[in-house]
């Protein structure tokens, strides 16, 4: 009885649902997804990876997945291939130094965090001609401005990529005073044109200070 019911049911399904109709349904689903994707791109913009750090979720421990683009975990061989003959400079405080070490370990996982923490740290991979420098400038002041200015004037080699940021020391030294905030605004405004000029020929990224709660 069960076999007979199965056979009759199968015939009924085949009567209304053929290979041709299945293809039509699949095509309709693809067109619907394409239309939704196009609408999303139109609404959110072409550069979906601008939402890299703003929307997403964690997939397990320390694995961030943005909603709008796929993340690829690079092997050191892939990183070397992408960064061949490149010079990358990290300039700023201890937060930037942490980014520097994380970046260098993509190229060489055996790198150890050692040396003078409050000083410049230079790293080079001769096999791929990759230079990665950390330049210790814990405050946005005249010294940092002069370093950035030297890159714009061509007095020293200009990095292909520049990652910069500093704020923690200014907050700590001046106890987060309003006067320190005002001076920080003045200093950051004074170097902004230099960063914009650098961005014409190099990739420049300014790392924002994370929120702190007292």
Q: What is the pLDDT of residues 6-61, one digit of tens each?
A: 454 455 555 555 666 667 777 777 777 767 656 655 665 555 556 666 677 777 76
Average pLDDT over residues 185-212: 89
Lowest pLDDT segment from 59-63, 125-129, 144-148: 59-63
Question: From CA 59, how far away is CA 65, in angstroms rounded?
Answer: 7
pLDDT in tens, 53-97: 667 777 776 677 777 677 777 888 888 898 999 999 999 999 999
Answer whether residue 146 shows pLDDT above 50.
yes
Say what the pTM is: 0.71
């Amino acid at each position: 009885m069960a076999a007979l019911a199965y056979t009759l049911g199968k015939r009924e399904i085949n009567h209304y649902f053929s290979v041709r109709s299945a293809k039509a349904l699949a095509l309709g689903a693809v067109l619907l997804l394409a239309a939704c994707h196009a609408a999303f791109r139109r609404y959110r913009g072409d550069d979906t990876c601008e939402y890299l750090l703003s929307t997403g979720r964690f997939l397990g421990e320390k694995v961030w997945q943005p909603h709008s683009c796929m993340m690829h975990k690079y092997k050191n061989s892939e990183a070397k291939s992408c960064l061949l003959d490149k010079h990358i400079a990290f300039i700023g405080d201890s937060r930037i130094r942490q980014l520097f070490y994380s970046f260098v370990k993509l190229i060489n996982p055996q790198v150890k965090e050692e040396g003078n923490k409050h000083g410049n740290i230079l790293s080079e991979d001769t096999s791929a001609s990759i230079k990665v420098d950390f330049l210790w400038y814990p405050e946005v002041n005249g010294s940092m401005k002069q370093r950035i200015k030297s890159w714009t004037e061509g007095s020293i080699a200009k990095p292909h990529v520049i990652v910069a940021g500093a704020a923690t020391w200014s907050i700590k030294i001046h106890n987060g005073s309003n006067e320190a905030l005002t001076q920080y605004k003045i200093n950051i405004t004074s170097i902004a044109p230099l960063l914009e000029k650098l961005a014409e020929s190099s990739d420049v990224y300014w790392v924002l200070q994370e929120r702190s709660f007292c």
